[in-house]
Amino acid sequence: MDICRLKNPIQDYAWGSHTAIPELLGQPSPSETPQAELWMGAHPKAPSKVEVGGEWKPLPEVIASAPREILGDRVAKRFGGRLPFLFKILAAAQPLSIQAHPNVAQAREGFARENAEGIPLTAPNRSYKDDNHKPEIICALTPFWAMNGFRKIDEMVCLLKDIGPAELETEIGQLSEHRNPDGLKEFFSTLMTMDKSRQQQVVEQAVAAAERGASGNPIFEWMLKLNEKYPGDIGVLGPVLLNLVKLEPGQAMFLQAGQLHAYLGGVGIELMANSDNVLRGGLTPKHIDVPELLKILRFAETGVSILSPERQDGDRAYPSDAEEFRLSVLDIDGTAPYTSATDRSVEVMICTGGKAFVKNEGSGKTLTVKKGTSLLVPAAVRRYLIEGEATLYKASVP
């Protein structure tokens, strides 16, 4: 099988942008509905289609017909004949929910339990859509704001005292006395499970204090923005509890299982294990499952490592410890062609700017790629060349 074009589904979640994905794909902009995510992969919820012999065929069907040819022997054996990653363009015009993803054991248990309970996969109260974990990496294409992991407890206590919700005085005092994972778990669990009227009082008091100190302080400014969108939602305290991060274009960060996070705004490339499992805790009209979220969370201070691409096997790849995926960026500058490795497995690529020509050295087939073009490069393609001037992001398996 040769290099093929992909046609990818778009998820029109409410927080999406009306312009980012249409402009990437060269489609009319603004779109009628918000376009949040472009999915490149074989997830059963929304699989890509592959152009094969002039026909568009579902990617899972194509892989099932020739798993070793598409995936490569090693990947086909290791991941049971399935594409192990899901590649996305994410366009957040509004904040996403505060959320975390389960590890493999938690995902399998939760998926089996909800199946046994007879909850349909498409039901709005379904938390586990599959039996897989979802480590992920996000790389900014535009300035990208996010919250990622619990900040240092010392910082958290200071910030909580700054916004001083009187309603939380006792709990803040207890956290101040127990600045460790157990104390953090107790504080956060109390915050998330208190009744809604008390949560609203806490948020109102915190927002009033944040308004007084917001000028030039992004933590308090984001609190106010979140309260405008979700007034009284306990997630409004997120910037005080979690690390607030701004990624510049080309920078990335990795998120492991159990890490509380929320994407706040911007356009990015996202690559993850092939899963759609999300446990939400706030800032969303979607299903919130606080007990399940508290079960899977890692209650630990978390530093955020900002990642830049490093040379790995001829590519500029973003470091991560994920088994299912590796994200690389290819900057084709017109001076010399990019030559792929010969020992490689399946790859999915998308062009985010410029124009280039991708040539299968074996068959001689050449495809023209421009902004928005995405390709499947089967493992059976021994080596390929890319010439021109373009930027491409590539998903592969380490």
Query: At a CB cut-off of 8 Å and minimum separation 6, what does 398 contact?
Result: 322, 323, 325, 326
User: What dihedral do alpha carbons 172, 176, 180, 181 form, nearest 10°?
Assistant: 0
Report phi then psi at 245, rounded to 5: -125, 140
Query: At a CB cut-off of 8 Å and minimum separation 6, what does 229 contact?
Result: 94, 95, 283
The C-alpha atoms of residue 252 and residue 210 are separated, in whole angstroms, by: 29
240: left (phi over 0), alpha (psi -120 to 50) or beta: alpha
State the number of CA atoms in the 13 A half-sphere of 362 facing the CB. Answer: 12
Whether residue 348 contacts residue 394, with contact meaning beta carbons closer than 8 Å, is answered with: yes
Our separate counts of H helices and E strands in the chain read 12, 21
Side chain identity, residue 348? V
How do 49-52 and 55-58 pair as beta strands? antiparallel
The C-alpha atoms of residue 102 and residue 113 are separated, in whole angstroms, by: 14
Residues marked active site are found at: 280
Query: At a CB cut-off of 8 Å and minimum separation 6, what does 371 contact?
Result: 24, 26, 351, 352, 353, 354, 355
The C-alpha atoms of residue 351 and residue 388 are separated, in whole angstroms, by: 12
Cα 241 to chain centroid distance, Å, stands at 20
Whether residue 275 contacts residue 45, with contact meaning beta carbons closer than 8 Å, is answered with: no
What is the DSSP-derived secondary structure letter of residue 381? -
